[in-house]
Amino acid sequence: MQRLTLLIVTLLIQITAYAQLNWIHDLRAAQALSLSEKKLIVMDFWAIWCSPCREMDHHLWNHEEMATLSNNFIPLKVDIDHHRDLAQKYAANAIPKVVITDANGTVIWEEVGFQNVDYYLDILKNLPTDLDKLNKCLIPILHGSEDAQHHFNVGIAYQRVSKQTDHLALRSAFLQQSSNAFKQAQKRSEDTILDEQASLHLVLNDAYAGKTNRALRKVGKLDHLTAEASEDLKRFIQAYCYQCDGKTETAKSLMANIKNQRYITELKELP
């Protein structure tokens, strides 16, 4: 009787701790929801015996803001004792561990341990919530596609997702995934134009990450471009870097020769 009472109390504590979130406990279900609801997956690796995990449940996952923030992501709770394969895949050797992934399971951001509620809340508040275009590009990859164009499309999609957040760590993480996808496209490509476009977008990721001097050095070495679209992108990268560096006259001179209206609009929107 005493054991039963203790079990009931433990379960009630757990239910209260999870009250703000409708946790999913199956990876495939979370991935399906990630695709349909166009959101990232937030995995919480935990165990019943883990004291810091209980602290995280109480202070973070049951935080009053979580009722609203839970709309930003798909919550997946992973008991490492029952899902050892998943814990091994995501190197959950120490817990609690929070891992944010896309629908394909690619890690965007991760953190081990729990100390600061605001640190985690800041991440969750800044997650992009409309991944429709990214998810559409990920579907062929989910089905095992090795096509260079599909990987290139994922790179473009991640690059655009990076603009949906002002959080520097998240933006950097999205740009890193974008660069990874462009490199995969290059590895598989037999198309000269696709290869040079991937090279240019890799440089553009440096520019978007604030590494403008590095981007200018790299783009200056990309000569003998095959396509006019590539030349246009090269001018955009240079103009973007000069505009960010406060060299507005040089940027305007380059902008005058840019034909892609989306590039011109983006340059005009820069502070």
Instruction: Give CATH 3.40.30.10 domain extents, the chain.
Output: 2-125
Q: Decide if 258 contacts 235 (C-beta within 8 A).
A: yes
What is the Cα–Cα distance from 30 to 61, expressed in whole angstroms? 17
Domain 2-125 grouped into CATH 3.30.479.30: no
Name the percent of the chain lying above pLDDT 90: 86
Q: Which of 162, 242, 151, 164 shows the shortest CA–CA distance to 197?
A: 151
pLDDT for residue 80: 97
Whether 120 has a pLDDT exceeding 60, the answer reads yes
pLDDT for residue 129: 85
Mean of all residue pLDDT scores within the chain? 91
Between vectors from CA 171 to CA 169 and to CA 177, what angle results, nearest 5°? 105
Tokens of 7: 């079990």
Q: At residue 171, what is the residue type? A: R
pLDDT for residue 3: 53
pLDDT for residue 6: 44
Residue range 247-255: mean pLDDT, rounded:
95
Q: Decide if 104 contacts 154 (C-beta within 8 A).
A: no
Whether 251 has a pLDDT exceeding 90, the answer reads yes
**Domain 132-269: top CATH class:** mainly alpha
pLDDT for residue 224: 87
Residue range 89-94: mean pLDDT, rounded:
96
Strands 107-112, 40-46: pairing kind: unpaired
Lowest mean pLDDT among 9-18, 111-120, 192-201, 243-252: 9-18
Whether 223 has a pLDDT exceeding 70, the answer reads yes
Sheet with 97-101: list strands edge to edge: 73-79, 40-46, 97-101, 107-112
pLDDT for residue 2: 54
pLDDT for residue 67: 85
Whether 189 has a pLDDT exceeding 80, the answer reads yes
What is the Cα–Cα distance from 189 to 181, expressed in whole angstroms? 12
pLDDT for residue 21: 83
Instruction: Give CATH 1.25.40.10 domain extents, the chain.
Output: 132-269
State pLDDT tens for residues 3-31.
534 443 443 344 444 456 889 999 999 99
Whether 181 has a pLDDT exceeding 90, the answer reads yes
Tokens of 237: 């990268």
pLDDT for residue 12: 39
State pLDDT tens for residues 23-60.
999 999 999 999 999 999 999 999 999 999 999 999 99
Whether 121 has a pLDDT exceeding 90, the answer reads yes
State pLDDT tens for residues 162-176.
999 999 999 999 999
Cα→Cα distances 175→60, 169, 181, 226, 264, Å = 27, 10, 10, 25, 21
